[in-house]
Chain A
Amino acid sequence: MTMFDRRRATGSLGPRFSRRQGTIAALLILAAALALAPHGVTDAARHAWLRLLQPAQTLAQSAIDATTGFARDWQSAAASREELALAQARAKEWREESERLKRALLFSETSSAAANQPIDSGAVELPPLESSDLVIAHVLGRTAQSALGGQPILGAGSAARLKSGAHVLQSGDSNVDSAGDSKVATIDAGRDAHLETDRLAIVGRAVWGKLASVGPMTSIVRRATDPGYRDLIEIVRVEHGRPVVSSRGVLVGSGASQCRIEMVDATAAVSVGDEVYTAADNDADVRLYYGKISRAELAAGQSHWRLWLQPALADRAPQKVAVLRIGLNPERVVAAQAASADGERR
């Protein structure tokens, strides 16, 4: 076999180049030649090629435009369907809300009409059984207490009809006594003012403490932070801009600057910042303010919250307080006496 025959059989162009390599080289040379070719030649070829492509391009562009338009319409329709579904859902919600409000209004009107129905004109309306009034008392400082032999005395005595247990409120013009930080808070009103134990001592509308003991002319006030202090309270939180009573509990003084709140169920919605008031049995009862919840903990498995209250009057030592005195209405007493006299005459 000659060298020429061997080359033809193997398809090689030489001892160093295979047929494949030769093809590549030839094509690269062609590419270089085209790159160096006059623009007229390449432009003519380009125009011819583009004319050849034009019918298919028109067809393809129409298909793309149609597809794009369809996709846009479909998206628009889908969005419209979504908006329609949303609007229908909202309309349904509004209808339900409207029905609910109508029912509530009907119920309210019925209840209101029943509640506002005039009592039979022939009926005799009795005056309220209990009446309340305020007695202003002064808080005695340490000097005054020692001068009085340790027996706290109130300025308003029995002449003012104070009783043990009457509420003590600070008068509007009272000043805070910076030196009134005695261990025992004493006010100058006692049995002479008809005060009774366990009445709340109040500054403004905030609770300062309770009358722990009532003497002839003085009373000792156990402040909310003092050990042994206990009171039933309600926790009020603001929901949707309206105050809502979330739960009840027991306020306990511990001697620290903050009080503890016990017996609040773990299921109650409580958070720091909620306000604490005295418990009220009905809407007519006045709620008196204690302070805000400063700390709330709920350990896993515990049935009650661990809560701490920051009293509104924690750092204040009022000079004057107001005692809310609650007693029998004199009109009722007179009416009862008159009725008794009538009965005896008959």
Chain B
Amino acid sequence: MAAIALLLSVYVAAVLQTTLAPAMEWRGVAPSFFVVVALVWSVRRTSGGAILGAAAIGLAADLTSSGVVGVNIALFVIAGAALEAANARLDIRHGPAQLAMVAGAALFVTAGQCLVAAATGEVALDAPTLIVRIALSAAYTTLIGWPALAAMARFAKPARAALV
């Protein structure tokens, strides 16, 4: 059941990323629905489930984009692990905790994608422009992801003491 839900959410994220995100583009920056799905997934899953889900989302992101396959898997796995750890230590029913998780994940994934793209020559931007784009993209994703995470957090249990 969880696997079907994961596949469905990954599929929806991919569709939104390829249709809705371009429509929502502002100054060449669009939100990442994959990050939003990864956040929502990490709230509901623990003990490695979040990491596996994040890997699946990363794979979908890789296949949807034109970049090197594997980059997003690595980024989302690391982000998923961090989110899982944060979920275990923080009480995500509180706004600041939610904001820290959303902004942190969005910034990490966006920065990783941009840096890899710049390193592989996919994009040719100077450092200040790259930094501004990363910040704007992360902020935009945070703007979209925070309400989703807040909605999911209403049903979440209090923070667990520690990881297994």
Contact = CB atoms under 8 A, between A and B. Distances in A.
Given A31-B73, A32-B74, A50-B63, A19 B23 contact: no
Given A34-B69, A46-B63, 7 more contacts: A11-B164, A23-B52, A27-B51, A35-B71, A50-B63, A50-B64, A57-B19
Interface string B51-67: 11001001010111000
A295 to B, nearest CB: 54
B158 interface: no
**A interface bracket (residues with beta carbon within 8 Å of B):** 20 to 34
A37 interface: yes
Interface in A54-110: 56-57, 60-61, 64, 68
Interface of B: 11-12, 14-16, 18-20, 23, 47-48, 51-52, 55, 58, 60, 62-64, 68-71, 73-74, 77-78, 81, 163-164
Given A27-B51, A34-B62, A68-B23, A53 B73 contact: no
The 7 A-B residue pairs whose C-beta atoms are closest, nearest first, are A35-B70, A34-B70, A31-B73, A31-B74, A31-B70, A49-B63, A60-B19
Contacts of A19: 48
Nearest to B62: A34
A28 interface: yes
Nearest to A64: B23
A42 interface: yes
Given A24-B51, A35-B71, A53 B16 contact: no
B23 A45 contact: no
Interface string A1-28: 0000000000100000011100110011
A330 to B, nearest CB: 91
B48 A56 contact: no
B16 A60 contact: yes
Interface of A: 11, 18-20, 23-24, 27-28, 30-37, 42, 45-46, 49-50, 52-53, 56-57, 60-61, 64, 68
Contact of A20 (B51, B69, B78): B51
Contacts of B23: 64, 68
Q: Chain B at the A interface: mostly helix, strand, loop or mixed?
A: helix
A49 B68 contact: no
Nearest to B16: A60
Contacts of B63: 45-46, 49-50
B51 A23 contact: yes
A27 B54 CA distance: 10
A49 B56 CA distance: 13
A57 B64 CA distance: 12
Given A45-B69, A49-B64, A27 B16 contact: no
Contacts of B163: 20
A28 B19 CA distance: 29
Contact of A61 (B19, B47, B60): B19
Contacts of A64: 19-20, 23
Contact of A53 (B11, B47, B51, B58): B11
